[in-house]
Amino acid sequence: MCEICRNTPCYFRCPNYTSKKPICYCSSCGEGIFDGEEYIENPNGEYRHYDCFYGMRDLLEWLGYEIKTMED
Ligand SMILES: [Zn+2]
Ligand SMILES: [Zn+2]
């Protein structure tokens, strides 16, 4: 059992967790995205952790949606 996270195998956020390579990297925080973490992929092939969005606007713009203002 790992003495830091007390899991076997290590919890994915544990500093001792080296058994697996990240599947891909988050384009916001630069950290790896590991097994069991929630993430989103956009049409440009970029990845981000679900937790690495600052809000709905950030998420939608990253996904390529335009936030429009209705005008007459
Ligand atoms: Zn551990
Ligand atoms: Zn991230």
pTM for this predicted structure: 0.65
Q: Is residue 17 part of a domain?
A: no
**Residue 12 Cα, ligand 2 centroid: separation in angstroms?**
14
- Residue 32 covered by a domain: yes
Return the ligand number nearest the Cα of 8. Answer: 1
- Residue 1 in any domain: the answer is no
Mean pLDDT of 54-65: 95
Q: Which two tokens stand for residue 61?
A: 């713009």
Q: What's the gap in Å between 5 CA and the centre of ligand 1?
A: 4
30 CA distance to ligand 1 centroid (A)? 21
Residue 58 in any domain: the answer is: yes
Residue type, 40: I
Determine, yes or no, domain membership for 11: no
Residue 71 within any structural domain of the chain: no
* Any domain includes 70: no
Interval 1-50: pLDDT, tens: 888 888 887 777 888 776 567 779 999 999 999 888 999 999 999 999 99
Contacts of residue 12, Cβ cutoff 8 Å, sequence gap at least 6: 20, 34, 35, 36, 37
The total number of structural domains that make up the chain: 1
Tokens of 22: 């990240």
Decide if 50 is inside a domain: yes
- Under the banding of pLDDT at 50, 70 and 90, the label for residue 58 is very high
pLDDT at 19: 57
Question: Could you tell me the distance, in angstroms and rounded to a whole number, from the CA of residue 31 to the centre of ligand 1?
Answer: 17
Query: How many whole angstroms separate alpha carbon 5 and alpha carbon 45?
Result: 33
CB 67 within 8 A of CB 57: yes
Domain residue limits at 28: 24-62
